[in-house]
Amino acid sequence: MKIISRYLSRSAIFMLFMVGLMAPAGSAPLEQLKITGFVSAADWEAYRTRFIDDSGRVIDNANGNISHSEGQGYGLLLAFAASDRLTFEKIWTFTYTEFLIRDDGLAVWKWDPSATPHVTDRNNATDGDILIAYALAKAGVGWQDQRYTQAAQKLAKAIGKAAIVKNSGFPFLLPGVKGFTQTDRPDGPVVNLSYWIFEAFPVLATLAPEYDWSAVWREGIVLLQQATASRTHLPADWMSIRNRTQPRTAEGFDPEFGYNSLRIPLYLLRAGMADMEWLKTLKQRWITDQEGVAVVNVVTGEIRERLTDQGYMALPAALACALDGTKVPESLKVFEPQFYYPASLYLLSLSLIGEKYPQCL
Amino acid sequence: MPLTRGMMAFLIVGLGFAALAQQSGSPPSPKSDQTGPSPSPPPSPAPARPQVDESALRYFASQGDTRRVDAEIARLRALYPDWTPPADLSQLVGGGAGGPVSDPEADRLWGLYTENRFSEARAAIAARQSADPQWKPPPDLVAALDVSEARRRLVNASDNNQWRTVLSIATETPALLTCANVDSLWRVAEAFAKTNQTNRARDVYTYLLTNCANPAERLGTLQKALTLLDGQQVTDLLRFERKGGDNPDDFSAIRDELARRRVEKASTDAKLTVSADDLAVVERLAEGETEPGNALLLGYYNYHRKNPEKALTWFKTALDRNGGPKAAEGYALALRELNRFVDAEAFAYEWRDKAPENMQVYLDVATALLSQDPPLKLSPNVVARIIPAVTKARFVNGAQALGWYSYNTDQFRTAREWFEVALSWKADDEPSAYGIALASQRLNDRSRFNAITAQWRSRSQRIADLADGISRDRGTPVTTQPIPQPNPVPAAPARPALTATEPPAVPESSPERSRRVEEFRVAAYDRAVLTQERQLQGSRRVVRSGGSARRACTATRDPSGLAPNAALTLGWCLMELNRPMEAVAAFDQAMRLGSPTVREEAAYGKSLAYLRKDLTGEAAVAAAQAPQTATRRTELSAAILAQRALAAYRDGRWVDVILALGERARIVPEQNDLMLLRGWSYFKLGRLNDAEKIFTAVHRTGFSEEASVGLNAIREITGQLHQY
């Protein structure tokens, strides 16, 4: 698979994706992650006890202890990865009762324990919706629970209906239903490429086949390539795609490759796209040039902040492992979670390595 | 213990969710196959009920949790209509007679549920199921969790205005829609209302009032309804008030609020009427409280009902209760309505900066103060403080009022400046241009006069007439625009730099001559008034049906019960007695019910009556209320125009005299007495050539003495030596 995929062009990836969708039992070039079983009990215990309370709320402890749909989605996915059905059920119950209340079937994105009512922004965040739907779909199959599958399907259809829209005829993901379209803002549509959780699309496509998830996948890759054609080869977190062939930093946002975008390589690797040329470029930057994971101005290349938490360090480790078979450094082998976000990235990175590149461990 | 209180049937039926009702009874019940509502015998005691899982009820009873016991009974009733709660719940405690054997694991799960730890209850079920695939959770616990989670989602969705989610939860979870969950019912009703289904919202409230017993919740239901339904729908709900019993309702606060709302609506819409009862309610509320709200309401109600004395009193009460700018606004409006313009201005001035509305009222009141006819004697500092407010707000009407005020106090230069200012603020404002033209004429400023009239003559007939010197008698209707107001009053400083009183523009001559000229000018007016009255009398005599009615109307009587012909007779009779306003009422009655002929006659009489009162506008309206013959139309029009000319003459509005007479001359020949008025008007306007032509004409046909006085006055001014 690696030999084939190294030479794949974008369109070939798409074709393989389609083959993967239509003939899952065949050559399966972009094999789905199993996920479950690749987060150790000890690592999960460390994560769960720090970031998930008894009600099933995933707590962003670097962010005023709020919760959000992304966190609930990561929590569900990682609970499934840790085969912790009990915690999965808790998180799901909380997500269902507190987040999945929108008229359009999507999740509200922001929940604040100190606010009344707790929902402080009832817009959705499409990556959160995708993560929740994806985790539910995996768990529904993995644990043979129709409730999860049905909820996943409902949510997948809601995402397809409300968050997939077209720009110049090409379907893409709205980051949120409100505030990002062409009519909502002068530079709209605005996208966030880290909301493309590629690995979820084939799964959601089986649940809501009436939406063109493969075209969304394709558009994500196109936009990423356009956005990384610049001097720094880095996409900004929030980009205007009013001119879809020339994405540019959206009005009101810093031209930064930041906390959002640094997940993109992880999502590409998890979706089996280790052959993307851009990953090599990024590896050059992160590892060969020893820049490490950093918040970078995409115009000037200036570094605003270096990110040294173990969770961020896991991203280049996964990249080096996937591209070169580099061993995971000792410093990453013991999970020492401090903050929700990098801890989530750590478990996603290490579980990927555990499942697909165990030789790096 | 309220265990035995009446339990509810499914709301679903009451709501008309009919199609969804079928989903409700998912837990299997042996009796659910029954068709129709055939009453079943009362269930026999304890041992006969194994099919209904009472484990939750048992658990809650053992915990002494009466609220949940109630809720569980309601839920079971909803699911199993034939079920009745155990006669003695205490039997259930500790797995008593007939109940299933206690299961510690189930009790633990119920415990989590009781503490609202739904996630943990779910998690425990999931964990045990994955450990023991054979194990099944108590179905009632699952059902209870479903309902509780649904309730939580419903609250969250409703808190976030996700009304469609609220409604879909309600349809998916009928067990939630019982009197044990009144809050959920209220939220469902709100969701209906917020999605334009107020009838459905009303159905929910109706269900609640029909079935649920708690008086506080029942009153709360009405209060919710007040916020979402219209007044009539809420009024309809009042019939569910329970008068007797242990817990009678008291919905009087709702009735009061409905009355208050009707008065509130009527307080801003004079066309609405409210009952005396409603008014009495609001007055009672207003008198019994220290808040300004209802007093303010009553203030505006009375203000818009042309009852400014009462309005003023209520606004005063509101002010005393810290009613703030809104009360002050009303107070100033009421003062103005009472024609207490000086007070109104002084009061409004104090409040002008409190809110934009207060500034607007101040500007309006000040404008009215300046525009009084005859002009009021104003202290200079009042005028001085109006100026900055008008200027800052660029208030066109105010600038114009200052213009007319200056004009009428013979400060033509200042007047023109104000008109220029007004025009600069509103470039298409004809009255400002008209004011400029008039003031320029008085200032003998030909160049500005020519410029402004040239610019405006195509857009304004009266400006064109001014430019044409009016003598052509174009006869076009006089547009009803602000008119110059006369009488000597203290100077109005237009701007700080312009406070000096100007010299009069018309050349002075000897006091003796002036006095004599003035006497003749006034005498011309008196003569014309007499003639006019004679003519009106004549008109009356022509149409009056007979003289015998005179005695019939000496006593005041209400015409509203009279037949049309009797009312008409009464009208003419009252005209005879020179009681025109009573005559108007009589003519109105005749017009309401009469035949076309009577209507014509009555409209004619009414028009004449108004003319008697010098109400030419009303006279014109009355004349138009029924078709008149051409002769009468001409007669009435001529009379109306003559009255207008007389009024203008009396007020010194010379241009309007000329315009009205010009229009009149187009339809009937002009009499000498009116020609004299025209001559004196030209004279006063300084249009001596025109005046001379008129006086000359009159001199030849009669009234030679009066005409001679006019001609001599002209001669004295122009220095001509003609002898007449």
Q: Identify the pLDDT of residue B566.
A: 84
Range with lowest mean pLDDT among B195-199, B353-357, B449-453, B691-695: B691-695
Return the closest-CA partner of residue B177 out of B31, B4, B20, B15: B15
Q: Which of B190, B214, B230 is the last residue of a domain?
A: B230
Identify whether B561 is part of a domain: no
Residues B224, B326, single domain; the answer is no
Backbone angles phi, psi at A334, to 5 degrees: -105, 120
Identify whether B562 is part of a domain: no
Q: Which of chain A's residues have a Cβ under 8 Å away from the Cβ of B124?
A: 86
Range of the domain at B101: 2-25+51-230
How far is residue B592 from each of residues A41, A141, B3, B197, B626, measured CA to CA in Å? 95, 84, 67, 44, 11
pLDDT in tens, A313-350: 999 999 999 999 999 999 999 999 999 999 999 999 99
Residue B723 has pLDDT above 80, yes or no: no
Domain spans of chain A? Answer: 2-22+31-360
Identify whether B430 is part of a domain: yes
Identify whether B655 is part of a domain: no
Chain A contact probe: residue of B109, B116, B119 with most A CBs at under 10 A: B119
Identify whether B662 is part of a domain: no
Mean pLDDT of chain A: 91
The reply to whether A150 touches chain B by the CB within 8 Å rule is no
How far is residue B218 from each of residues B1, B22, B203, B331, measured CA to CA in Å? 20, 28, 14, 40
Q: Identify the pLDDT of residue A279.
A: 96
d(CA A186, CA A250): 10
Cβ of A100 and B153 within 8 Å?
yes
Nearest CA in chain A to B157: A101
Residues B487, B385, single domain; the answer is yes
Taken as a whole, chain A contains a residue count of: 361
Q: Rounded to a whole number, what is the distance in Å from the CA of B303 to chain A's nearest CA?
A: 43
Residue B54 has pLDDT above 70, yes or no: yes
Cβ of A103 and B152 within 8 Å?
no
Kindly state the average pLDDT of the residues B420-438: 91
pLDDT in tens, B122-172: 999 999 988 888 988 888 899 999 999 999 999 999 999 999 999 999 999
> Is pLDDT larger for residue B296 or for residue B607?
B296
Residue A205 has pLDDT above 90, yes or no: yes
Q: Identify the pLDDT of residue B540.
A: 52
Kindly state the average pLDDT of the residues A270-280: 94
Residues B90, B221, single domain; the answer is yes
Residue A11 has pLDDT above 60, yes or no: no
Mean pLDDT of chain B: 78
Cβ of A103 and B120 within 8 Å?
no
The reply to whether A97 touches chain B by the CB within 8 Å rule is yes
The reply to whether A299 touches chain B by the CB within 8 Å rule is no
Kindly state the average pLDDT of the residues A12-34: 51
Return the closest-CA partner of residue B128 out of B150, B106, B111, B143: B106
pLDDT in tens, B213-246: 889 999 999 999 999 999 899 999 999 999 888 8
- Chain B residues within 8 Å of chain A (Cβ atoms): 117-120, 122-127, 130, 149, 152-153, 156-157, 159-165
Structure tokens at B197: 């289904």
Kindly state the average pLDDT of the residues B514-538: 74
Q: Identify the pLDDT of residue A30.
A: 62
Taken as a whole, chain B contains a residue count of: 724
As a CATH number, domain A2-22+31-360 is 1.50.10.10
Q: Which of B211, B230, B249 is the last residue of a domain?
A: B230
Q: Rounded to a whole number, what is the distance in Å from the CA of B439 to chain A's nearest CA?
A: 54
Q: Which of B198, B230, B262 is the last residue of a domain?
A: B230
Which range is most confident: B56-70, B448-462, B465-479, B697-711? B448-462
Nearest CA in chain B to A105: B165
Going B383 to B387 to B389 to B395, the CA torsion angle's sign is positive
d(CA B406, CA B486): 9
pLDDT band of residue B31 (cuts 50, 70, 90) is very low
SS (HEC) of B70-89: HHHHHHHHHHCCCCCCCCCH
* ipTM rounded to 2 decimals: 0.88
Q: Which of A55, A103, A108 sits opposite B119 (nearest CB)?
A: A55
Which of helix, strand or coil describes residue A360?
helix
Catalytic residue numbers of A read: 70, 127
Residues B335, B194, single domain; the answer is no
Which range is most confident: A41-50, B99-108, B229-238, B333-342? A41-50
* The total number of structural domains that make up chain B: 2
> Is pLDDT larger for residue A275 or for residue B724?
A275
Which CATH number characterizes residue B379's domain? Answer: 1.25.40.10
Residue with tokens 């994955």: B130
> Is pLDDT larger for residue A291 or for residue B536?
A291
Q: Identify the pLDDT of residue B83.
A: 77
pLDDT band of residue B638 (cuts 50, 70, 90) is confident
> Is pLDDT larger for residue B582 or for residue A286?
A286
Residues B212, B339, single domain; the answer is no
Nearest CA in chain A to B163: A103
Kindly state the average pLDDT of the residues B383-399: 89
Kindly state the average pLDDT of the residues B180-192: 94
Strand pairing class (A256-257; A294-297): antiparallel
Range with lowest mean pLDDT among A20-24, B346-350, B570-574: A20-24
pLDDT band of residue B75 (cuts 50, 70, 90) is confident
Q: Identify the pLDDT of residue B444.
A: 87
Cβ of B119 and A98 within 8 Å?
no
Return the closest-CA partner of residue B148 out of B263, B68, B58: B68
Q: Rounded to a whole number, what is the distance in Å from the CA of B318 to chain A's nearest CA?
A: 36
pLDDT in tens, A63-76: 999 999 999 999 99
Residues B482, B363, single domain; the answer is yes
Cβ of B165 and A102 within 8 Å?
yes
Residue B334 has pLDDT above 70, yes or no: yes
Kindly state the average pLDDT of the residues B413-425: 90
Nearest CA in chain B to A52: B119
Q: Identify the pLDDT of residue B555.
A: 65
Identify whether B288 is part of a domain: no
Percent of chain B with pLDDT over 70: 79
Q: Rounded to a whole number, what is the distance in Å from the CA of A75 to chain B's nearest CA?
A: 14
